[in-house]
Amino acid sequence: MLKKIIQLTFAILFLPACFSFGLIFYEELSALNMLSGDYVYFFFGCISYLIFHTIIFKPDRVYVFGHEMMHAVAAILSGGKVGSIKVSKKGGSVTTNKSSTLISLAPYFFPFYTLLVIIIYFILLSIGKEGPAFTKPFMFIVGFTLIFHIVLTIDVLKIKQTDLLGTGYFVSLELIYLVNLVFITFIFSLLFKEINFMSFMENAFIRSRENYISIFHQLFL
């Protein structure tokens, strides 16, 4: 019971930060014109996945594979060992000798396929391949895979996930929301010159602090 009270307390305390980060994220997006230059290919990628998902089929097995792979990657990066990975259309599992909040929530935090595309792109650049030749397909695929991650993550969160129970369901949802905003902004800072990741983080923390101070004054002063 005490654990649930603590989790609920943290969930309530996180709310102003969630609001502040979301507001700054919206302000950053409002500076973008995704229908100009190469940006339009990112937009086309986003729309293409939504059409694919709605009209053709929902790639559940592909999502589950990426989901379990992120569990595995997080476990390895945390110093753990991965025993087995099982994937099916209805779900999957990873056997590891280590557990943590990062390992449990990594698939909801980080878009596996988008990360893979970005890594491949920068490897190609590092070995001397011409950037402009890859920019348009890169932008399209990043848009496609990022929306894939967002849509399927929201879809699976409609069902109560055991991954979220250890940290607390509402706290986990807030962490997923915050980390996704931060990571998507980081990706956007790589794609769009108008987005400055460090500026986003600074403004989000300043806005969060202002909101916490304002709430404190309203409640106690």
Cβ proximity of 19 and 210 under 8 Å: no
Beta-carbon contacts of residue 124 (< 8 Å; ≥ 6 apart): 134
What is the model's pLDDT at position 191?
84
d(CA 177, CA 109): 8
**SS3 track for 130-173:** CHHHHHHHHHHHHHHHHHHHHHHHHHHHCCCCHHHCCCCHHHHH
Q: What is the pLDDT of residues 155-205, one digit of tens each?
A: 988 887 777 777 778 888 899 999 999 999 999 888 888 889 999 999 999
Q: What is the pLDDT of residues 62-91, one digit of tens each?
A: 999 999 999 899 989 888 888 888 887 777
Whether the pLDDT of residue 34 is over 70: the answer is no
What is the model's pLDDT at position 92?
80
Q: Which helix (H) or strand (E) holds 34?
A: none
Whether the pLDDT of residue 112 is over 80: the answer is yes
Residue 8: which pLDDT band, with cuts at 50, 70 and 90? Answer: confident
Query: 193: buried, middle or exposed (CB in 10 Å: 19+, 13-18, 0-12)?
Result: exposed
What is the model's pLDDT at position 129?
60
What is the model's pLDDT at position 49?
96
What is the model's pLDDT at position 45?
94
Residue 23: which pLDDT band, with cuts at 50, 70 and 90? Answer: very high
Q: Show the tokens assigned to 184.
A: 């998507």
**What is the four-CA torsion angle of 179, 183, 188, 194, rounded to 10 degrees?**
70
Cβ proximity of 94 and 110 under 8 Å: no
Q: Show the tokens assigned to 107.
A: 């698939």
The arithmetic mean of pLDDT across residues 28-47, rounded, is 82
Q: What is the pLDDT of residues 191-217, one digit of tens each?
A: 888 889 999 999 999 999 999 999 988
What is the model's pLDDT at position 35?
65
Q: Show the tokens assigned to 100.
A: 């943590």
Mean pLDDT score of the chain: 87
DSSP character at residue 36: S
What is the model's pLDDT at position 24?
93
Residue 130: which pLDDT band, with cuts at 50, 70 and 90? Answer: low
The strand ranges marked E within the chain are 82-88, 91-96
Residue 52: which pLDDT band, with cuts at 50, 70 and 90? Answer: very high
Cβ proximity of 114 and 142 under 8 Å: yes
Q: Where are the domains of the chain?
A: 15-211
- Give the end-to-end CA distance of the chain in Å, rounded to a whole number: 31
Residue 53: which pLDDT band, with cuts at 50, 70 and 90? Answer: very high
What is the model's pLDDT at position 2?
73
Whether the pLDDT of residue 125 is over 70: the answer is yes
The arithmetic mean of pLDDT across residues 145-153, rounded, is 95
